[in-house]
Structure 1
Amino acid sequence: MREEIAEVLIFVARFLDYPDHQFFNECSDLDQYVKKNLIDEELQREVSQRLQPMFEMELKDLQELYVETFDYKDKSGLYLTAQELGDSRRRGEALIRLQKLIADLGFENVSKELTDYIPMLMELLAVAPENDDVSQLKRRLAYAINRIFTHLPSSNPYSNVFDILMTFAFEAPNSEEIAQLENEREEADLDPLPYPMIYR
């Protein structure tokens, strides 16, 4: 993987974690933070411009926006297999396969998040050696990240984070890939039951 793409993945992954006080303080001077973590000057300018709206908000407001944008959301949740499969029992098997891939690459999940947490997989992609499995993971992430991006309103500052990823790190999936993957998704059955159930 090209060095600048790896830099973007590692850098942007931090902006998709829950914004805590430490993160907000580190980025209080956004331009300096970007220059410290990215080498290319044009990329620095582009990234700073896209991320600036996040830091025009109070931390509490940004935290509330994060929860509203990502937590328990079907179309913008930050979990790969949920983006791919929706509310499907096949997610368990997919998570096991993903855990095996991570182990085979010589890494382990040391966070409290599920194995398919997208920011964590972005960091893995940045440091993993190139092979067919890693290339396939990159395409899977491209689909999921593009799906989130297309479902976020442009007025949401987090839309800019995904814009960075789709501009500098991932190639957007084509219509055939999207159609094939959308057919794999299962939606939750939220229809009312045909008769009342009474528990005594």
Structure 2
Amino acid sequence: MIRVWKSARRAPAAAPPYALLSYLMRYPEDGLELAAAEVAALPDGEPREALERFLAASGEDVDSQVRYVATFDMKRSVTPHLTYYEHGDTRRRGVALLRLKRLFREAGLPVADGELPDHLAVILAFAALAPDGYGEAVLAEHRPALELLRGALHRSESPYAHVLDALVAGLPALKSEEHEELVKMAADGPPDEDVGLEPFGPPEAMPTGARR
């Protein structure tokens, strides 16, 4: 697996396949061949079936690195950086990134140099290694963004939609307030910068639901 963190802890044995999902959502420097055995080792269920669909679709005659760039680097509507969906390229996004970095550091898992903490692959790696509840809390906070990304991938018929399907299959169903936020974010799109606002200080609160 690609190492994201400067330090590492083992994920609980019963945890969802966050580490595998993180590997698949990163730029495929080594191709995807290493993932096949790990997918085959998963228990029967929707996550395994979704990842088998991903590997089958990714086996087509397209370079995996070219596909990744074409999927995630060409359109802002299909970005793995989850804070973008809510905050766009505004100062609020900068605050959200600082907040994630602080949370990861306090959990003993500082982000490696050059990584942005809102990249889905980084969040999934955090979920795989963090103390119980931390990763799930971060994913819950960004659940509408996950659904926006998943929908965009399905509309573009990207194989990566199956990776998001595998992730969502292991998450709780959307709450009514999350669905309302999803509808609003989809209708409004990412915000523009609010000119003239005073800079925001980094918030103190961590995601609700994280357990020490």
Band of TM-score, shorter chain: 0.7 to 0.9
1:8 corresponds to: 17
Aligned pairs for 1:1-200 (under 5 A) are: 3-4=13-14, 6-20=15-29, 22-27=30-35, 30=36, 32-36=37-41, 38=42, 40-42=43-45, 43-58=47-62, 60=63, 62-71=64-73, 73-131=75-133, 134-152=135-153, 153=155, 155-169=157-171, 171-172=173-174, 174-179=178-183, 185-187=190-192
Q: Provide the aligned length of Structure 1 versus Structure 2.
A: 179
Note closer, same or farther for the CA distance 1:169–1:126 as it changes in structure 2 (3 Å cut).
farther
Asked whether the 8 Å contact 2:91–2:193 carries over to 1, the reply is: no
Structure scoring higher RCO (CA < 8 A, sep ≥ 6) equals 2
Note closer, same or farther for the CA distance 1:136–1:179 as it changes in structure 2 (3 Å cut).
farther
Q: Which has the larger radius of gyration?
A: 1
Q: 1:41: Cα distance to partner?
A: 3.1
TM-score (norm 1): 0.74
Amino acid at match of 2:60: E
Q: 1:139: Cα distance to partner?
A: 1.2
Higher helix share: 1
Asked whether the 8 Å contact 1:85–1:184 carries over to 2, the reply is: no
Asked whether the 8 Å contact 1:166–1:172 carries over to 2, the reply is: no
Q: Which runs of 5 or more residues in structure 1 are unaligned?
A: 190-200
Amino acid at match of 1:138: L
TM-score (norm 2): 0.70
Instruction: Tell me how far apart the structure 1 counterparts of residues 58 and 193 of structure 2 sit (CA, whole Å).
Output: 32
Instruction: Tell me how far apart the structure 1 counterparts of residues 156 and 18 of structure 2 sit (CA, whole Å).
Output: 21
Instruction: Tell me how far apart the structure 2 counterparts of residues 41 and 82 of structure 1 sit (CA, whole Å).
Output: 34
Instruction: Tell me how far apart the structure 2 counterparts of residues 114 and 163 of structure 1 sit (CA, whole Å).
Output: 23
Asked whether the 8 Å contact 1:79–1:118 carries over to 2, the reply is: yes
Amino acid at match of 2:79: G
Q: 1:13: Cα distance to partner?
A: 1.3
